[in-house]
């Protein structure tokens, strides 16, 4: 092969390489332009479902003050044992009863004569957490445990055994609402609604009775005529959809 032919071959090879590099760069620029020009719309969606409360979580506290740690420990242990027996007599399963360990702390008081703080024995307490699956027993439960020395019964936390199923329905409603809103925006802006790009779900907790509902609940418990009513399960989503040019 003479030098002229070899020179032509090299020039042709360089030309092909330049064309290939230019094609790759053009594709990259087109992809970058498409990525930067891609439009999105972000909307909120809300859904809710009504469920009947059929469960209650209760916290019972037994506390004692005394000069001897041993004496108050033994007294509280007896009371806890009596309370658990009363709970099981109401057909509450042991797996729905959780008793914490005893907590003991020293007590003090201000002495007016010596003008200083002096030791005044000990304070001890234990907590019993109960899951009640028959709300018709709530009034009887509170009456029995307070008679056995329970010092404090926290406000019952009502919830439903159907909460998760209701929450999933509320989620579907929230996503459907978000999609409808995004579709309206796409139509108004002259674009087509694409697939969902991202969705965030706000946290959800079973609701509690509030305000006058709590007062009525307390009165119903005292009269042993408790009616839990309905709870609202809510779902909130923030959804981002793609918008496609027509």
Most confident listed range (14-18, 62-66, 115-119):
62-66
Most confident listed range (6-10, 15-19, 97-101, 213-217):
97-101
Non-local CB neighbours of 62 within 8 Å, separated by 6+ positions? 76, 79, 80, 83, 125, 126, 127, 128, 149, 150, 151
Residue 81 structure tokens: 């044992």
In this predicted model, what pLDDT tens digit does every residue of 124-162 receive, in sequence order?
999 999 999 999 999 999 999 999 999 999 999 999 999
At residue 209, the pLDDT reads: 43
Same domain as 214, residue 177: yes
- As a whole number, the mean pLDDT across the chain is 81
At residue 204, the pLDDT reads: 56
- CA angle at residue 210 from 207 to 211, to 5 degrees? 170
138-147 and 69-89 helices cross at what angle (nearest 10)?
150
Burial 22-47 (b: 16+ CB within 10 A, else e): eeeeeeeeeeeeeeeeeeebebebeb
Same domain as 175, residue 150: no
- CA angle at residue 57 from 53 to 63, to 5 degrees? 150
In this predicted model, what pLDDT tens digit does every residue of 23-77 receive, in sequence order?
444 444 434 444 445 799 999 999 999 999 999 999 999 999 999 999 999 999 9
- CA angle at residue 137 from 206 to 88, to 5 degrees? 100
Same domain as 151, residue 98: yes
The Cα 48–Cα 71 span in angstroms is 53
State pTM to two decimals. 0.63
- Residue ending a domain, choose from 159, 192, 216: 159
Helix (H) / strand (E) element for 185: namely: helix 163-188
Nearest Cα to Cα of residue 52 among 142, 135, 113: 135
Helix (H, G, I), strand (E, B) or coil at 34: helix
Same domain as 155, residue 59: yes
Burial 60-89 (b: 16+ CB within 10 A, else e): bebbbebeeeeebbebbeebbebbbebbee
At residue 38, the pLDDT reads: 75
Same domain as 207, residue 183: yes
For residue 115, what is the domain's CATH number? Answer: 3.30.70.2970
Q: Do 159 and 218 meet the contact criterion of CB atoms below 8 Å apart?
A: no
Number of domains in the chain: 3
- Residue ending a domain, choose from 159, 184, 218: 159
At residue 113, the pLDDT reads: 82
The Cα 237–Cα 243 span in angstroms is 19
Domain that holds residue 14: 1-37
Same domain as 192, residue 141: no
Same domain as 218, residue 191: yes
Residue 13: pLDDT band with limits 50, 70, 90: low
Same domain as 154, residue 167: no
Same domain as 226, residue 137: no
The Cα 141–Cα 132 span in angstroms is 9
Task: Say yes or no to pLDDT of 187 above 60.
Answer: yes
Same domain as 170, residue 153: no
């Amino acid at each position: 092969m003479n030098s002229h032919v070899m020179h032509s071959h090299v020039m042709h090879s360089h030309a092909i390489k330049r064309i290939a590099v230019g094609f790759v760069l053009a594709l990259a620029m087109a992809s970058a332009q498409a990525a930067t020009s891609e439009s999105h719309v972000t909307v909120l969606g809300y859904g809710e479902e009504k469920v009947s409360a059929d469960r209650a979580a209760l916290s019972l506290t037994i506390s004692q003050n005394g000069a001897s740690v041993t004496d108050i420990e033994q007294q509280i242990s007896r009371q806890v044992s009596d309370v658990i027996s009363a709970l099981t007599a109401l057909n509450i399963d042991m797996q729905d009863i959780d008793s914490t360990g005893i907590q003991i702390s020293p007590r003090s008081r201000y002495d007016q004569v010596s003008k200083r703080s002096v030791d005044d024995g000990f304070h001890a307490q234990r907590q019993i957490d109960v899951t009640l699956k028959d709300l018709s027993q709530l009034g009887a439960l509170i009456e029995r445990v307070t008679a056995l020395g329970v010092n404090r019964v926290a406000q019952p936390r009502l919830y439903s055994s159907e909460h998760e199923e209701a929450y999933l329905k509320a989620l579907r409603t929230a996503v459907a609402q978000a999609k409808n809103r995004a579709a309206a925006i796409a139509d108004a802006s002259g674009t087509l609604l694409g697939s969902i790009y991202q969705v965030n779900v706000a946290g959800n907790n079973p609701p509690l009775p509030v305000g006058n509902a709590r007062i009525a609940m307390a009165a119903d418990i005292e009269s042993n005529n408790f009616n839990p009513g309905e709870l609202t399960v809510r779902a909130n989503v923030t959804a981002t959809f793609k918008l496609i040019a027509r």
